[in-house]
Structures are given as C-alpha cells and as structure tokens.
C-alpha cells in the first residue's frame, strides 16, 4: 500500500491526484463557473423581458378599444342631439326617425369592426350559436328549428361573443306514443 492510500484510510481527508487530472478538474470548474454566470445573466435578461412584456400588454389592453371608442363618439354625439331635439319638439315621428338613424350608424360602425348579428329565426338550432330558452310543440316546422329570437346573438369576426336566446320547435307528441313511452 502506498503512502497516499494509507493517509486516505486513516481519515486525513486528503486525496492525491495527478497534475494532469488536477488541471482537467480545474478547467472544468472554470467552465462550470462561466456557465453559471451565463445562466445568471440569461435569467436576469428573461426577468427583464417578462416585466417589459407585462407592461406592454397592460398598456395594450388599456388602449386597445381606443379605435372603437373614437368611432363611437359621433354616434354618442348624435344620441345627445336626438335627446336635445326631443326636448324642444313634440313630433314623435321625427324623433323616432332620428333615433333609427343613430341606431343604423351604430350598427354600421360595429359591423366595420367585425361585429355581425347571428341569424336565427327559421334556421336549425345550433348549440354553438343559440341558447334554447323554450321548446315549443309545432307541426309546421321541422324539429329543432328556431321559431323566435328572444335576444339576438353576436359574432365578433369568427368568435361567438353572445349566443342568441331562442325558442325552438319540437314535434307534438302523439297521444298513443306518449302513453306507450310511459309503459
């Protein structure tokens, strides 16, 4: 047994390695330190990026509807004019025409922004576009036909933002079939 082996068995805590191996370990330690420092820089850069992206997203959300609001301001102005003119005028027909014009302007503004009304009456019930509030027995229309729209639904570009609430047809149950189903 060599001196080094005896020293390590006695618990001295010393280990002997060759100079070549020592230089290899030293080189690897230096490389590990460089990688660690690079990792710390990348983490700091990522944290800065994350903070910047969050700030930009918050600013975007804050001002995202600015364009829509600017387009709706003339509609609001026309509503105010209609209200003011109704105070000075007793002609309800003219007031109705004015309000209808403002409504048309508003619908057109929203349509240009990508808002479309979902057509429902007479169409087949589609659970993606419609919410059935009532089923009505009806022999004039096929099963699952929308008979009445209670509240219009809207699609913004390709996304349904509000389904239409509707009444849907169902076939009348024949008295004999209803009794047979119960038995």
Whether 157 maps to a domain, the answer reads yes
Return the pLDDT at 105: 93
150: containing domain? 117-183
Residue 7 has pLDDT above 70, yes or no: no
Whether 87 maps to a domain, the answer reads no
Whether 41 maps to a domain, the answer reads no
> Six-digit token pair at 91?
């002609």
Whether 163 maps to a domain, the answer reads yes
Whether 57 maps to a domain, the answer reads no
Whether 25 maps to a domain, the answer reads no
β-pair type (153-156, 146-151): unpaired
Span 169-178, pLDDT tens digits: 998 776 655 5
Whether 11 maps to a domain, the answer reads no
Residue with the two structure tokens 């808002």: 115
Q: In what order do the strands lie in the sheet with 115-118?
A: 115-118, 153-156, 159-162
Number of domains in the chain: 1
Q: What is the mean pLDDT of residues 44-72?
A: 90
Span 65-121, pLDDT tens digits: 888 888 889 999 988 888 888 777 777 788 888 889 999 999 999 999 999 999 999
Confidence bin at 9 (pLDDT 50/70/90): low
- Please tell me whether the overall predicted TM-score, pTM, comes out greater than 0.75 for this model: no
Span 111-169, pLDDT tens digits: 999 999 999 999 999 999 999 999 999 888 889 999 999 999 999 999 999 999 999 99
């Amino acid at each position: 047994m060599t001196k080094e082996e005896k020293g390590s068995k006695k618990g001295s805590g010393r280990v002997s390695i060759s100079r070549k191996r020592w230089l290899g370990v030293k080189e690897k330690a230096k490389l590990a330190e460089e990688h660690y420092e690079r990792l710390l820089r990348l983490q700091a850069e990522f944290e800065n990026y994350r903070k910047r992206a969050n700030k930009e997203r918050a600013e975007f959300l804050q001002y995202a509807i600015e364009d829509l609001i600017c387009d709706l301001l003339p509609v609001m102005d026309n509503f105010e004019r209609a209200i003011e003119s109704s105070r000075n005028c007793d002609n309800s027909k003219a007031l109705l025409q004015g309000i209808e014009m403002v409504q048309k302007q508003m619908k057109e503004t929203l349509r240009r922004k990508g808002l479309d009304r979902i057509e429902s009456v007479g169409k087949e019930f589609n659970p993606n576009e419609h919410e059935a509030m009532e089923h009505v027995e009806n022999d004039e229309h096929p099963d699952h036909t929308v008979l009445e729209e209670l509240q219009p639904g809207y699609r913004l570009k390709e996304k349904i933002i509000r389904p239409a609430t509707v009444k849907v047809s169902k076939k009348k149950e024949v008295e004999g079939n209803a009794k047979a189903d119960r038995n």
